[in-house]
Amino acid sequence: MKPKSLVLASASPRRVEYLREIGVPFRTEVSGADEIDEPDSGLKPDWVALENARRKANAVSEKHPEQWILGADTVVWRDGTFYAKPVDFEDAKRMLRELSDGWHFVITGVCLQPPNGATPRLFHDETRVLFKSLSESQIESYLNRIHPFDKAGAYAIQEGREEIIVEIKGSFSNVVGLPIEKLTQELETAI
């Protein structure tokens, strides 16, 4: 049965905003799940994003088995390196330095967990992002304007993208943290 409402296993303001836009009734609950924070470079980025999304959805589903649960996780990946949320300002600068002047991938994994332990619907989206060649002063200026510590890769595409990004190939909402186009399709076909 198509979900009439769901529980978002996240407090991300960006995911909350997207769910409001598509008009699905929901509430939020932080999962507290044990996520893969520092993935081994040999792991595939789509697997990491899906596994973290599944863990988040499962943790909330255990508390609310009668509800539809939505878990999501976004990873930033370039040349075998994962870029998680930065631990401090220096870490954020390092990330933007390494992402500068090249393409990277943003992968968001989504787990839509139906009620009562039914088989979850797992899917992901992948977007390629090309960064400008950034100087140290451009990096510091950008980071001083945003709050990088809750963002994989230390940047927000919706904030000052003209300062750091040349081009994106794929879903914009995926880079923000929820592939809304794919999610909408999944919600329409959920049974």
Known catalytic residues are: 73
Closest CA to 146 of 164, 167, 130: 164
Tokens of 1: 């049965």
The residues that bridge with 121 in the sheet, in sequence order, are: 112
Closest CA to 35 of 72, 78, 6: 72
Q: Which residues of 150-187 are buried (b: 16+ CB within 10 A; e: fewer)?
A: ebbbbbbbeeebeebeeebebbebbbbbbbbebbeebb
Structural element, H or E, at residue 132: none
